[in-house]
Chains A and B, each alone.
Chain A
Amino acid sequence: MRFERKLPECAVVIFGANGDLTKRKLMPALYRLAHERRLPPGIAIIGISRTQMSHDDFREKMRESVQEFIEDSDVDPAIWSAFAEGLFYMPGDVGDPKCYSDLAACIKDVEAQRHTSGNVLFYLSTQPSQYAPVACGLGRAGLAKGTGWRRVVIEKPFGHDLASARKLSDDLHEYFAEHEVYRIDHYLGKETVQNILAFRFGNGIFEPLWDRRYIDNIQITGAESIGVEGRGAYYQEAGALRDMIQNHLLQVMATVAMEPSSTFAPNAVRDERAKLLRSIRIMKPEEVKNNAVAGQYGPARIGGQEIPGFRQEKGVAPDAQTDTYAAVTFFVDNWRWAGVPFFIRSGKHMPKRVSEIAIQFKAAPHHVFSNGNANAEAAMPNLLILRIQPEEGISLKFFAKRPGSGMTLRPVSMDFNYGASFGERSPTAYETLLLDAIIGDPTLYTRQDMVEASWTAVEPILDVWSSENHDFPNYPAGTWGPKVSDEMLARYGCEWRKP
């Protein structure tokens, strides 16, 4: 109980080491773990990319990245120096078999220097199209097996539909067993998403209310205030439904709605998430129109600044049919959630960056205090808000009597703020997830059956949308999405919460 989990010595091989993800997320997370003495002392990090660089060049480049992207602190020269001793670099083209034989030799050298016990974590920070070729290259070079454990981490998207997700899985499984494949969904690594489990299953008071009898609807929002930021060409092929809802937000939904697992063992939790995802009602094509809304932002002026529409972004076709906004009404066909709509939305260029879950409870059955007056406040239901970002925390909205004579009710909020309550920095999602991968704890990673279940849930929508010609743009940048999205909720007697 008093001991920290012992982390195994290992080598972390990052493919795409010169890319944005490595610079912005992976290296700052690894350095932060080193700074907090949470990495094994002999850890080695081997970066691979096509760029010709020496070990020292790579170390310098990574130092600059850490300096730029680390949050809340500066780089400590002494800690960086010790950390940098474990950084190695190998130029290589992942399409060239020689890359893998060179890597085998490099891993051997590093193992001799750093005593990594033959354990290797392969992090594929590459284009998704390279996942299968890299896994195949590793397998053919004999790197998928070794004296220690071998694990491969991949980032979303896991395919672009159900068939391609299955194909990717088959390709990975050719050389890596399912328990060796770590599909990262950084949303699940966020403290507040993990805290949903603590909130629900670590307390006795909420779970009895957590069902169709007390909950009217659940709204899950993943809104970004920025546009595609130079990723227009990529985003054009993805869209909000694929980029956010199919993975992050459905995983969040599964966490909110899953049944309690008997233990916190990795597969016990993942089994429950998967079961929930499989319980999502699959829409028939004719149901899509009323239960899913695609949107695309148009140009706008916000605070005096001209914001281009999506079709005016660099690399985007002038007639692009991409959904930069998606909203879907899901239903879960099980005993607990029968009839409760789950409204999920995600969009670019929304008024603010916010990810949250809003659980709207049913209103009191009789308004004792309305006094016959159609008082809007008196009819407002209780809300439980689980804020994922920013200002991570939980708020419960309810009514209280305003001080003074008379019985005037006012909405008030009871707030728990993560930062203020614990007074310490929360680890970033990548810190949590990298550490879990090294330890071998896949609880917060997505399993193939979960990936397939979520693709199964969204594929009917994608099929209908791809067969239609959307009248885009249908919302100006800086607003909460198209009107039809409000109408979708109005059909269920609900309205979107404005976070």
Chain B
Amino acid sequence: MTSTIKPEKILKELANLWIEAAAPSESSASGVLRACSMTMLVIADESEDTQGIGETLAQLMKEHPSRAIVIRLKDSSEPWLESRVFAQCWKPFGSRQHICCEQIEITASHASLPDVPAVVLPLVVADLPVVLWCRSGRVTELAGFREIEVLAQKVIFDSASFPDADKALNKLLDAGLPGTRVADLAWGRLTRSRELIAQTVNSDDLIQSLPRANEVRVRARGPKPNVPARYFAAWVTDRLTQAGGSPTLKWDLEEWREPLSLKGVTISAPGFTLSAEVKEMAGSAAVVDIKVEDRVNRVVLCRPSEYELLLQELSIPGRDPIYEAALRGATNI
């Protein structure tokens, strides 16, 4: 167990990593290509699926090669800091050359997290975006998290990892410095459902009815709507308002019965009703019935993986005004 790490040493190890990787060997006669388009900071509790993080990053590197700095937190009040450096390499189909990205893994106890930001600061790649993926809502409350958060231009949370919806939304609103872009994987999970509704209303007759929309009814579970339900409600209401409608938001809250929060949404206007019902969960899929008047369209939606959600977020380099409006709306619900 060590309690100190030196950034200069890590930088030296990184330099040596490439010297070693560049050395000709039997397996890689064509050398390696060093790829980096951003710094990907990951912060996670060690109790979480650590292998999953590694696999997700390995997949992400192919589309978003980056210097990944993974901070693994141990639930301990003893000082503990360790680091290791390694390369993630792959050979694209048809290519003779390996493409490699560097990865730095810092293991820290909760007590040592305040010592980590000063280590991470010099490890950030200059002139490239810095994205922080915070995998655990719990760590946002630890001392030292804020200093790491402000290094990033984009912070990705998963509000599902927060114990409480209000806490999650407040954290999302307050993340980083002014101008820091915030994302929530929970919002990404709604993309397909939102897309379905958007595509359904995008017909000549329905689109003309939208300014007349006067009610949005969202069905969710539990005593209080959770974050996805609030996002959905905020998004639908906001979009209808943008289209000229003035809908009233109403909630139908069910007893807690099954592990699904958003049960459905109904948009009503004089002359038409559109409802989306999440009928059942089958493994990692959900069946959604989109009903317009008496026409029903049934769609099976697969639950996106963490990798797919991150990929979705990383494909948005600038601001995401639709999400920002939904976040503001969800906070006010």
Contacts and interface: CB of A to CB of B under 8 A. Distances in A.
B318 A304 contact: no
Given A351-B122, A385-B126, 9 more contacts: A300-B118, A303-B4, A303-B118, A304-B115, A391-B15, A397-B127, A408-B317, A410-B317, A411-B127
Contact of B118 (A301, A397, A409, A410): A301
B79 interface: yes
Interface string B184-197: 00000000000000
A163 interface: no
Contacts of A302: 6-7, 115, 118-119
Interface in A416-453: 420
B319 A375 contact: yes
Interface in B98-126: 112, 114-116, 118-119, 121-122, 124, 126
A373 interface: yes
A305 B81 CA distance: 11
Contacts of A353: 8
A352 B122 contact: yes
Given A301-B114, A352-B122, A390-B15, A411 B129 contact: yes
Given A304-B4, A353-B8, A376 B122 contact: no
B8 A304 contact: no
A377 B318 contact: yes
Given A376-B153, A498-B126, A408 B115 contact: no
A195 interface: no
Given A302-B118, A304-B5, A304-B115, A352 B11 contact: yes
Interface in B1-32: 2-8, 11, 15, 22
Interface string B311-323: 0000101110100
A479 B121 contact: yes
Contacts of A301: 114-115, 118
5 contacts: A305-B6, A353-B8, A378-B318, A411-B128, A420-B22
Contacts of B11: 352
Contact of A376 (B79, B127, B318): B318
A408 B119 contact: no
A303 B119 contact: yes
Interface residues of B, number: 33
A424 to B, nearest CB: 15
B80 to A, nearest CB: 9
A91 interface: no
B271 interface: no
B200 interface: no
A412 interface: yes
A279 interface: no
A352 B112 CA distance: 21
Nearest to A353: B8
A90 B153 CA distance: 61
Interface of A: 225, 300-305, 351-353, 370, 373-378, 383, 385, 390-391, 397, 402, 404, 408-413, 420, 478-480, 497-499
A497 B126 contact: yes
Instruction: Rank and list the top 3 A-B pairs by shortest CB-CB distance, nearest first.
Output: A375-B318, A352-B122, A351-B122
| Chain B contact residues, majority secondary structure | loop
Interface in B286-333: 315, 317-319, 321
Of B37, B119, B318, B321, chain A has the most CB atoms within 10 Å of the CB of: B318
A225 B122 contact: yes
A303 B6 contact: yes
Given A225-B8, A376-B318, A377-B318, A383 B127 contact: yes
B94 interface: no
A412 B35 CA distance: 10
B179 interface: yes
Contacts of B2: 304
Nearest to B151: A498
Interface string B59-84: 00000000000000000000101000
Given A376-B153, A383-B127, A303 B81 contact: yes
A377 B115 contact: no
Contacts of B129: 377, 411
Contacts of A378: 318
Contact of B7 (A225, A373, A480): A225
Nearest to A373: B318
A351 B118 contact: yes
A413 B4 CA distance: 33
Given A352-B8, A383-B127, A373 B319 contact: yes
Contacts of A383: 127
B211 to A, nearest CB: 24
Nearest to A390: B15
A375 B317 contact: yes
A353 B11 CA distance: 10
B102 to A, nearest CB: 14
Contact of B121 (A305, A390, A397, A478): A478
A421 to B, nearest CB: 13
A422 to B, nearest CB: 14
A383 to B, nearest CB: 6
Nearest to B181: A376
B315 A304 contact: no
Nearest to B11: A352
A301 to B, nearest CB: 5
Given A352-B8, A377-B129, A411-B128, A304 B321 contact: no
A73 to B, nearest CB: 15
A373 B321 contact: yes
A427 B236 CA distance: 66
A355 to B, nearest CB: 14
A375 B124 CA distance: 21
A303 B318 CA distance: 32
A402 to B, nearest CB: 8
Contacts of A404: 315
A353 B7 CA distance: 10
Given A376-B179, A383-B127, A499-B126, A304 B121 contact: no
A378 B126 CA distance: 17
Contact of B112 (A304, A385, A412, A413): A304
B79 to A, nearest CB: 6
B145 to A, nearest CB: 16
- Chain B CB within 10 A, most for which of A304, A391, A413: A304
B79 A304 contact: yes
Contacts of A498: 124, 126
Nearest to A375: B318
Contacts of A402: 317
Contacts of A409: 317
